[in-house]
Structure 1
Amino acid sequence: MINLTDSALHAVRDAILGADQPVSGLRIMVETGGCAGYQYKMGLVSDAEPDDTVVEREGVKVFVDNQSHELLAGTVIDFVVALEGSGFTFENPNATSSCSCGKSFG
């Protein structure tokens, strides 16, 4: 199961409320690429796909396709505000390696 920290939950909720189009939740997926083998992809979506796993916390829905779900099981997603910039971070227990930017893993 994927877990969002309170900070990530707040950031996603703000993004959903500020969207120009109706949004049902956040899609998180893994694609081949990046400097470590796989890269995280995120985006707001209007609907779930038929094969999605839906994780819901405090009214915020996260959609994960079946292929990505295996690679993301147990991942904790946080939203960090720092001098270098703000953004989502992933603590993925399935990653055996990661790049320095934290957006790619192997």
Structure 2
Amino acid sequence: MITLTEKAINAVGRFIASSETPSAGLRIEVTDGGCSGYQYGLKLEAENTPDDTVIDCGTVKVFVDPVSFPMLDGMSIDFLDSIDGSGFKFSNPNAAKSCACGSSFNPNPSGTGTKTCS
């Protein structure tokens, strides 16, 4: 599973509350791109699709498509807010290599164990 810290859950909740369109949860996906091969994508979604893995994080639901899930399984997401800026921080045990920006990675083909949402 994918773990969101309390700070990440609160940040997503704020984004959902301030969104002009209804949102049922947060979609996390992996797309081609970035300097390491793949990049993380986050967006608010009105609803999940039938093939999604839905992770209930209390006040926030997370939607992950079946192609992205194996590369994200076991990942932890935090939200940092500092003088240098704010944003989501990804800790992905499936990443064999990550770029310095933290939003691009190269997957490890062996994968890892799962964690639950907290």
- TM bucket normalised to smaller: over 0.9
Q: Where does residue 112 of structure 2 map in the other structure? A: none
Q: Where does residue 109 of structure 2 map in the other structure? A: none
The count of residues paired between Structure 1 and Structure 2 equals 106
**What is the Cα deviation at residue 62 of structure 1?**
0.4
Q: Flag structure 2 segments of 5+ consecutive residues without an equivalent.
A: 107-118
Q: Where does residue 92 of structure 1 map in the other structure? A: 92
- For 1:67 and 1:84, locate their aligned partners in 2 and report how far apart those are by CA, in whole Å: 33
Q: Where does residue 35 of structure 2 map in the other structure? A: 35
- For 2:97 and 2:81, locate their aligned partners in 1 and report how far apart those are by CA, in whole Å: 24
Q: Where does residue 74 of structure 1 map in the other structure? A: 74
- For 2:92 and 2:54, locate their aligned partners in 1 and report how far apart those are by CA, in whole Å: 18
Identity across matched positions, percent = 51
Query: TM-score, with normalisation over the residues of structure 1?
Result: 0.97
**What is the Cα deviation at residue 83 of structure 1?**
2.0
**What is the Cα deviation at residue 51 of structure 1?**
0.7
**What is the Cα deviation at residue 105 of structure 1?**
0.4
Is residue 64 of structure 1 aligned with residue 86 of structure 2? no
Question: 8 Å contact 2:9–2:59 — kept in the other structure?
Answer: no
- For 1:87 and 1:14, locate their aligned partners in 2 and report how far apart those are by CA, in whole Å: 13
- For 2:58 and 2:45, locate their aligned partners in 1 and report how far apart those are by CA, in whole Å: 18
Q: Flag structure 1 segments of 5+ consecutive residues without an equivalent.
A: none
**What is the Cα deviation at residue 43 of structure 1?**
0.3
> 1:33-78 deviations in whole A, cap 9, x for unaligned?
1000110000001010111000011131000000100000000000
Query: TM-score, with normalisation over the residues of structure 2?
Result: 0.88
- For 2:59 and 2:6, locate their aligned partners in 1 and report how far apart those are by CA, in whole Å: 13
